């Protein structure tokens, strides 16, 4: 711990430990489940494929009848997807078959059409057919009763497809956690409004809403509260009335003369967890609970709030949905692109560009300017270069760790 600052890992652990438990479950149609988090395991109610199926176009037959080139067989029917051949193949017989179609009873081989020559009701073998090749056995993908997806998984396109194939028209998912977002400060105006000479346009709330929405949350926009206890308390009341699971405040979380958020929350009964983290950018980060509502107070500087949103708000939202990997390390190895001096006692998340070559680790080059107010630097950055507290000087080419910004962090 550095001068009363708690380490990033401890801060995250405290945030996740303060999540009382996953939010309630609800059942939704499969078409509305994209991006949601499973509240229960998904078990197959059917077998896939439900029958032996052909993997190629060709002819279904007995391998013993097509083990030499030049053999001739009699065509007795056709098996197509959705229109299977219901009879049985006997000695010297074959059925025209198409990819995905059921393999008729009696057949144990597929003579692919490139190795066959059809002449009316006869098919000639050009190359011997190998028994069981090009046949997908029943249950090759999965079998009825098999657990395919675990509770806590986020439902993306591939997992939705699997649930559908397994026979589920509806799924039990966690409801979307309600995340109330409150920007604070007399200096802020909404986008589109004309700022006075001493004001700026609020950007943090839009960024945090996007992060929270991507993580699966339902957003409650509390707007901008002035630097006034009454305005802040009114916003807190609206968050409670909306039954927010998480309140995210932006700015005013420190203890200066104009930093009123922490004091106003204390007057409302905040159980403070911590409010300073050994982190750059984002040292004045606050955490606590206000009754049933989790509270995370982010710094007012735009880059600080976005970085802290990635590190703390997104994992909290995932934990509210029961994701067992909510606190997993999202960093990956890279190579440093330029020399860096020794780091001080805070973990540093430096905005960096990436150079990527096939077969090599990405090369991460931190921007020269790392001021936490500079959104343009963050906007063009492709990764956060993670430096541990008290990390020694590093040279270009040394190993490092990065968190990519061009990938979803869920």
Average pLDDT (121-150) is 97
Give the pLDDT band (50/70/90) at residue 395.
very high
pLDDT per residue over 186-198, tens digit each? 999 999 999 999 9
Report the 10 Å Cβ neighbour count for 257.
6
CB 239 within 8 A of CB 293: yes
Q: Taking Cα atoms as reference points, which of 135, 133, 56 lies closest to residue 99? A: 56
What pTM was estimated for this model as a whole? 0.89
Query: Taking 70 as the threshold, does the pLDDT of residue 258 lie above it?
Result: no
Give the model's pLDDT for residue 410: 34
3-state secondary structure 274-306: ECCECEECCCCCEEEEECCEEEEEECCCHHHHH
Query: Taking 50 as the threshold, does the pLDDT of residue 1 lie above it?
Result: no
Query: Taking 50 as the threshold, does the pLDDT of residue 269 lie above it?
Result: yes
Q: Taking Cα atoms as reference points, which of 381, 398, 281, 289 lies closest to residue 339? A: 398
Query: Taking 60 as the threshold, does the pLDDT of residue 304 lie above it?
Result: yes
DSSP 346-358: SEEEEEEEEE--T
Give the pLDDT band (50/70/90) at residue 4.
confident
Could you tell me the two tokens for 193?
């409004």
Average pLDDT (252-271) is 79
Give the pLDDT band (50/70/90) at residue 259.
low
Q: Taking Cα atoms as reference points, which of 314, 309, 289 lies closest to residue 298? A: 309
Give the model's pLDDT for residue 409: 43
Query: Taking 60 as the threshold, does the pLDDT of residue 291 lie above it?
Result: yes
pLDDT per residue over 84-126, tens digit each? 999 999 999 999 999 999 999 999 999 999 999 999 999 999 9
Average pLDDT (73-91) is 97
Averaged confidence pLDDT in the chain: 94
pLDDT per residue over 36-67, tens digit each? 999 999 999 999 999 999 999 999 999 999 99
Give the model's pLDDT for residue 253: 63
Query: Taking 70 as the threshold, does the pLDDT of residue 366 lie above it?
Result: yes
């Amino acid at each position: 711990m550095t001068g009363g600052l708690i380490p990033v890992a401890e801060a995250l652990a405290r945030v996740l430990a303060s999540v009382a438990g996953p939010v309630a479950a609800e059942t939704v149609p499969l078409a509305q489940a994209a991006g949601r988090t499973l509240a229960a395991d998904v078990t197959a109610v059917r077998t896939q494929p439900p029958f032996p199926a052909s993997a190629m176009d060709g002819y279904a037959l007995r391998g013993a009848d097509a083990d030499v080139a030049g053999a001739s067989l009699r065509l007795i029917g056709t098996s197509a997807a959705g229109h299977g051949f219901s009879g049985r193949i006997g000695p010297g017989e074959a059925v025209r078959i198409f990819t995905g179609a059921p393999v008729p009873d009696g057949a144990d081989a597929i003579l692919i059409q490139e190795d066959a020559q059809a002449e009316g009701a006869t098919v000639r073998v050009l190359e011997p057919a190998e028994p069981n090749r090009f046949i997908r056995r029943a249950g090759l993908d999965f079998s009825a009763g098999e657990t395919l997806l675990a509770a806590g998984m986020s439902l993306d396109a591939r997992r939705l497809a699997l649930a559908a194939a397994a026979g589920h028209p509806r799924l039990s998912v966690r409801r979307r956690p309600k995340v109330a977002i409150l920007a604070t400060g007399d200096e802020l105006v909404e986008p589109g409004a004309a700022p006075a000479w001493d004001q700026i346009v609020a950007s943090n709330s839009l960024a945090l809403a996007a992060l929270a929405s991507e993580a699966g949350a339902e957003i409650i926009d509390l707007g901008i509260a002035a630097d006034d206890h009454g305005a802040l308390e009114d916003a807190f009341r609206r968050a409670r009335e909306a039954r927010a699971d998480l309140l995210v405040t932006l700015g005013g979380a420190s203890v200066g003369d104009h930093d009123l958020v922490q004091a106003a929350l204390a007057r409302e009964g905040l159980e403070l967890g911590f409010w300073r983290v050994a982190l750059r950018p984002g040292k004045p980060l606050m955490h606590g609970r206000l009754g049933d509502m989790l509270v995370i107070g982010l710094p007012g500087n735009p880059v600080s709030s976005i970085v802290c949103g990635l590190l703390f708000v997104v994992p909290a939202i995932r934990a509210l949905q029961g994701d067992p990997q909510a606190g997993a390390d999202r960093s990956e190895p890279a190579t440093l692109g330029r020399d860096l001096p020794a780091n001080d006692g805070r973990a540093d998340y430096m905005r960096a560009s990436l150079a990527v070559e096939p077969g090599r680790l990405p090369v991460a080059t931190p921007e020269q300017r790392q001021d936490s107010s500079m959104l343009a630097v963050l906007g063009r950055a492709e990764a956060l270069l993670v430096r541990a507290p008290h990390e020694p000087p590093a040279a270009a080419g040394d190993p490092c760790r990065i968190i990519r910004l061009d990938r979803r962090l869920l």
